[in-house]
Chain A
Amino acid sequence: GRQWQELPPGKRKKGERGSGFTSEQIEHLHRRFRQLSRDQLTIRKENFDSIPDLEFNPIRAKIVHAFFDKRNLRQESSGLADEINFEDFLTIMSYFRPIEMNMDEEQLDRFRKEKLKFLFHMYDSDHDGKITLQEYRNVVEELLSGNPHLEKESARSIADGAMMEAASICGPDQVYEGITFEDFLKMWQGIDIETKMHVRFLNMETIAHCY
């Protein structure tokens, strides 16, 4: 049966080193990957349509986009990939790993930067390295209801308000030219994202008991 097609041990180790997941978690994610890809080796955007829980998430489009964003996949070129394989899948999921007790200062800092970079890429939809007012507005509009007249204006003023706040932190020029990643980092100083932007993957071991 299908269960016999295990992840080859070499691949599992590689994934482990790169993403920081344990081998059990990788096994489970691999099964999930196979479920989503319908046993193909790669996933395309359409495969995300089969997740009911994801449907009612307002930023669904941005999240799916993030999975195929080459910047998140740590590839040299920019733009969107057409399809991703399991290693890419693990790479994206690793952005949501929680912090571990044994991390030192440098690791924590790198960890935080990576998560913020992921968020930054979600806002910066044209991949030019800057978040403009328009891109900002797009995110706010997606998060708010699709009601035509009322919400568009609220979205606009809310986005403008937030940009003003950003300007007070980074300097008024940014409002016009767009927020770079360095400015973005400044805005997050003192805000704890490590405990908010993570998914707690459980450690599971299936052992055969004999009662």
Chain B
Amino acid sequence: QIEKGVKMQKALALENLISNGIIQREETSMEKEMAGHHREYFHLGDVMYFAKKACEAVAEDEVTRRFSSEELLSWNLLSRTNANFHCVSWQVTVVWIIGILIRYCLLMPFRICLAFFSILLLVSATTVVGQFPNGSDDFPCRCRENRPRKGGICVANHTSPVDVLILASDGCYSLVGQVHGGLLGLIQKSCMQTTQHVLFERSEMKDRHLVRKREHIEDKTKLPILIFPEGTCVNNTSVMMFKKGSFEVGGTIHPVAIKYDPRFGDAFWNSTKYSMMTYTFNVMTSWAIVCNVWYLPPMVKEEEEDAVHFANRVKAVIAARGGMSILPWDGGLKRKKIKESFKEEQQKKYCQIVTENGSVGNGNVY
């Protein structure tokens, strides 16, 4: 009994370490750190606080961590998730080799055949169906509590294109997404033949996009829109900033939380590192993709609430249900740099601390 307890504790501690990364960040604010010094003038050591923060950022930053695959507490026998290979015993190595044989020689060929035929079927079927004139969009959907209804907007956290597959297999949606080329582009084009989707180019979003969305949801016969407000794939350990665009159009928001079980395979698509084909190959040679989907009660923007506040409210609900942490950062940081205004914020704050405690003016010297 005691042994089990100790083991659990150790596991918990290790899990805490890993989820917090390599550095133990102390939760002191700028104010507390500065208060230690004489506060009548600027102190040489004030720079220490910022130097420390800078070193922490260089060693590890919260944002970049979210764009690489989650580090696992215990190895799931996929070589791509094991960085410290030298720690492993021969028994585990044997099991790993058997695992490779099963995954590459048994699971993968089966899955490739399945995928090939499915895509073939999809392309041909949608080409055929697309020829018919627009009929009624009444697909038989089972009515389960909290499932997104027509005319609503469904928002979820984003980890990979598989999210779409999972949700779409359980309901019918209109999709909003980045236009891709290659295999994914082909699938997108086929889907466009039969249902109304909104595809855009990331670099030229904004107003036109908003107008199209508004038109879509106002038409109550149209399918619910599925949107991923983070705007990019994140590694499923945290939920990043929800872009306010989807929360401005009005209508009912149906939040959905999607959490993958990392023990069976890594579902995160690192689009800057892997192409769709490489990603698909990785997925097919994993054990499985196991995922939990929670449909949450619908939410509506309140009278005095602004879009950003509403977005954060929805984000908090999704993160809480899925067991993920919340980050205020923009997923767009994957591709572009941070705004100058953030730097100025820090400087202003520091300036306030220094000047309100010191006497600033000509001739006053302490």
For the complex formed, measure the closest distance between the CB of A198 and the CB atoms of chain B, giving whole angstroms. 7
- Are the CB atoms of A151 and B329 closer together than 8 Å? no
Residues 208-244 of B at the A interface (beta carbon under 8 Å): none
Closest to B68 in A: A35
Which of chain A's residues have a CB closer than 8 A to the CB of B82?
3, 206, 208
Which of chain B's residues have a CB closer than 8 A to the CB of A122?
47, 51
- Chain A contributes a number of interface residues (CB within 8 A of B) equal to 72
Using known A-B contacts A200-B26, A208-B74, determine if residue A164 contacts B347 with beta carbons closer than 8 Å.
Answer: no
Which of chain B's residues have a CB closer than 8 A to the CB of A19?
none
Using known A-B contacts A122-B47, A208-B92, determine if residue A51 contacts B52 with beta carbons closer than 8 Å.
Answer: no
Using known A-B contacts A56-B345, A145-B344, A151-B351, determine if residue A208 contacts B88 with beta carbons closer than 8 Å.
Answer: yes
Closest to B342 in A: A56
- Are the CB atoms of B42 and A57 closer together than 8 Å? no
Which of chain A's residues have a CB closer than 8 A to the CB of B22?
25, 28-29, 32, 201-202, 204
- The answer to whether the Cβ of A103 comes within 8 Å of any Cβ in the partner chain is no
How many Cβ-Cβ contacts under 8 Å join chain A to chain B? 211
- Chain B contributes a number of interface residues (CB within 8 A of A) equal to 75
Taken together as a complex, chains A and B put the C-alpha atoms of A158 and B366 apart, in Å, by: 10
- The answer to whether the Cβ of A161 comes within 8 Å of any Cβ in the partner chain is yes
Using known A-B contacts A6-B86, A25-B22, determine if residue A162 contacts B45 with beta carbons closer than 8 Å.
Answer: no
Which of chain B's residues have a CB closer than 8 A to the CB of A62?
47
- Are the CB atoms of B86 and A63 closer together than 8 Å? no
Interface residues of chain A: helix, strand, loop or mixed (majority): helix
- The answer to whether the Cβ of A209 comes within 8 Å of any Cβ in the partner chain is yes
Taken together as a complex, chains A and B put the C-alpha atoms of A53 and B65 apart, in Å, by: 11
For the complex formed, measure the closest distance between the CB of B2 and the CB atoms of chain A, giving whole angstroms. 19
Residues 18-44 of A at the B interface (beta carbon under 8 Å): 25, 27-29, 31-32, 35-36
- The answer to whether the Cβ of B57 comes within 8 Å of any Cβ in the partner chain is yes
Interface-lining segment among B246-254, B298-306, B311-319, B355-363: B355-363
- The answer to whether the Cβ of B170 comes within 8 Å of any Cβ in the partner chain is no
Residues 1-50 of B at the A interface (beta carbon under 8 Å): 11, 14, 17-18, 20-24, 26, 33, 36-37, 41-50
Taken together as a complex, chains A and B put the C-alpha atoms of A207 and B49 apart, in Å, by: 35
- Are the CB atoms of B361 and A157 closer together than 8 Å? yes
Using known A-B contacts A28-B22, A157-B362, determine if residue A53 contacts B346 with beta carbons closer than 8 Å.
Answer: no
Interface string of B256-279 (1 = CB under 8 A from A): 000000000000000000000000
- The answer to whether the Cβ of B354 comes within 8 Å of any Cβ in the partner chain is yes
Which of chain A's residues have a CB closer than 8 A to the CB of B358?
158, 161
Which of chain B's residues have a CB closer than 8 A to the CB of A205?
14, 87
- Are the CB atoms of B54 and A54 closer together than 8 Å? yes
Taken together as a complex, chains A and B put the C-alpha atoms of A175 and B89 apart, in Å, by: 64
- The answer to whether the Cβ of B142 comes within 8 Å of any Cβ in the partner chain is no
- The answer to whether the Cβ of B165 comes within 8 Å of any Cβ in the partner chain is no
Taken together as a complex, chains A and B put the C-alpha atoms of A157 and B89 apart, in Å, by: 65
Taken together as a complex, chains A and B put the C-alpha atoms of A66 and B37 apart, in Å, by: 24
- The answer to whether the Cβ of A176 comes within 8 Å of any Cβ in the partner chain is no
Taken together as a complex, chains A and B put the C-alpha atoms of A187 and B62 apart, in Å, by: 35
Using known A-B contacts A52-B329, A208-B89, determine if residue A201 contacts B54 with beta carbons closer than 8 Å.
Answer: no
Taken together as a complex, chains A and B put the C-alpha atoms of A206 and B14 apart, in Å, by: 9
Which of chain B's residues have a CB closer than 8 A to the CB of A36?
58
Using known A-B contacts A53-B61, A53-B62, A57-B50, determine if residue A158 contacts B360 with beta carbons closer than 8 Å.
Answer: yes
Partner of B41 from the list A56, A63, A162, A197 (CB cut-off 8 Å) is A162
- The answer to whether the Cβ of B53 comes within 8 Å of any Cβ in the partner chain is yes
Taken together as a complex, chains A and B put the C-alpha atoms of A188 and B44 apart, in Å, by: 9
Which of chain B's residues have a CB closer than 8 A to the CB of A123?
44, 47
- The answer to whether the Cβ of A144 comes within 8 Å of any Cβ in the partner chain is yes
For the complex formed, measure the closest distance between the CB of A55 and the CB atoms of chain B, giving whole angstroms. 4
Taken together as a complex, chains A and B put the C-alpha atoms of A157 and B342 apart, in Å, by: 26
- Are the CB atoms of B55 and A96 closer together than 8 Å? yes
Residues on A facing B (Cβ under 8 Å): 1, 3-4, 6, 25, 27-29, 31-32, 35-36, 48-60, 62-63, 66-67, 93, 96, 118-119, 122-123, 139-140, 143-146, 151, 153-154, 157-162, 164-165, 184, 187-188, 191, 193, 196-202, 204-211
18 sampled A-B residue pairs with Cβ under 8 A: A3-B82, A32-B59, A49-B337, A50-B64, A53-B62, A56-B342, A62-B47, A96-B52, A119-B47, A119-B51, A143-B42, A157-B360, A157-B362, A157-B364, A160-B365, A197-B52, A202-B17, A208-B74
